Amino acid sequence: MRELDNMTVKSDKKAGCDPRDDSFDLKKTTLRVFRTNTAQGKDSHFDSLVVPVQRWTTVLDSLLYAKSYLDSSIGIRYSCRMASCGSCGMKINGIPRLACYTKISELEDPVVVCEPLPNFPVIRDLVTDFTQFFNHHKSINPYIQNLNYDKTEKIDEVSSSHSHRQSREEVDKYLQFSYCIKCGLCYSACPTVATDTKFPGPQALAQLYRYYADSRDAGKNRLNIVDDRHGLWRCHFAGSCSKVCPKGVDPALGIQLLRSYMLGISKDKRNV
Ligand code: SF4
Ligand code: FES
């Protein structure tokens, strides 16, 4: 508590951020943290930890405070602390969210419940195993496939490689899908993933669309990868994937667009 007070005095000069200011808001909140250790076969339980919070304190900040000053054994995964790496996903008050992107003040709840992401096997406490998730991601060949680019095209002087020029309209087709940070929140919110582990899930399918819609890509068999009963057709359009995405990606839209290509409603320029 003392350390946090001192940190704030030193670093916050903005109006309303100074502890001597009347509007300064230092409160306490209770974290209920899911605890388990599958390797040691320990039963799961919740620990309650009281932590100080300010208006800008994120769930990750408070978990790190708890880890530093109250219980160093809490298992958390994080890296960037700025909603870019996708490591800190967890279920917070019942909804899959990034802990570093979730302010406690915005939850408007005196108790913050932190649990591991659903649909992922738990390793320890809030840390889950992403092996299957990344296997699904890899299965859709998430890279540009194009062996036939025009070798006569001008060589880029900076990169010394052949450039693949695109119009604004061509970029717009896939741009939002390229913002995916592989955090797995959509995967954990998906009711179909919960019942069928062979289903690639909204993240992988949206990435399939991202490469399929890219005018630089010439991969011909992309749609075949997911054209089976555990694939694209398994999605029931619950839409929960798009609701939880922290990066504004709409995986449900990507899945619908893929289906429209599959059904011939949209034309695949590669086969024209
Ligand atoms: S689509 Fe959104 S929620 Fe899903 S993995 Fe990508 S960034 Fe995370
Ligand atoms: S720590 Fe990187 S996304 Fe939260």
Structural domain boundaries enclosing 177:
130-271
CATH number of the domain that residue 178 is part of: 1.10.1060.10
Residues 142, 76 share a domain = no
Cα of 13 from ligand 1 centre, angstroms: 35
Q: What's the CA-to-centroid distance between 67 and ligand 2, angstroms?
A: 17
CATH assignment of the domain containing 123: 3.10.20.30
Find out whether the beta carbon of 249 lies less than 6 Å from any atom of ligand 1: yes
Answer yes or no: do 119 and 215 share one domain: no
- The binding-site residues of ligand 2, defined as CB within 6 angstroms of any ligand atom, are 78-81, 83-88, 98, 100
Taking phi over 0 as left and psi of -120 to 50 as alpha, with beta for the rest, 167 belongs to beta
Q: Are residues 138 and 236 in the same domain?
A: yes
Same domain, 242 and 137: yes
Domain boundary among 92, 107, 127: 127
Based on the fold, state whether residues 116 and 138 are members of the same structural domain. Answer: no
For 157-215, how does the pLDDT look when each residue is reduced to its tens digit (9 = 90+)?
555 566 778 999 999 999 999 999 999 999 999 999 999 999 999 999 999 999 999 99
Closest ligand, as measured to the CA of 83 = 2
Look at the chain and report how many structural domains it folds into.
2
Looking at 68, 99, 127, the residue that finishes a domain is 127
Q: Which of 79, 96, 127 is the last residue of a domain?
A: 127
The answer, yes or no, to whether any atom of ligand 1 lies below 6 A from the CB of 203, is yes
Report the atom number in ligand 2 closest to the C-alpha of 78: 1
- Is residue 68 within 8 Å of residue 87, measured between CB atoms? no
Same domain, 68 and 191: no
Handedness of CA 94, 96, 99, 104 (dihedral sign): negative
Is the same domain home to 134 and 261? yes
pLDDT 10s digits, 74-99: 999 999 999 999 999 999 999 999 99
Tens-digit pLDDT profile for residues 28-72: 999 999 999 988 877 899 999 999 999 999 999 999 999 999 999
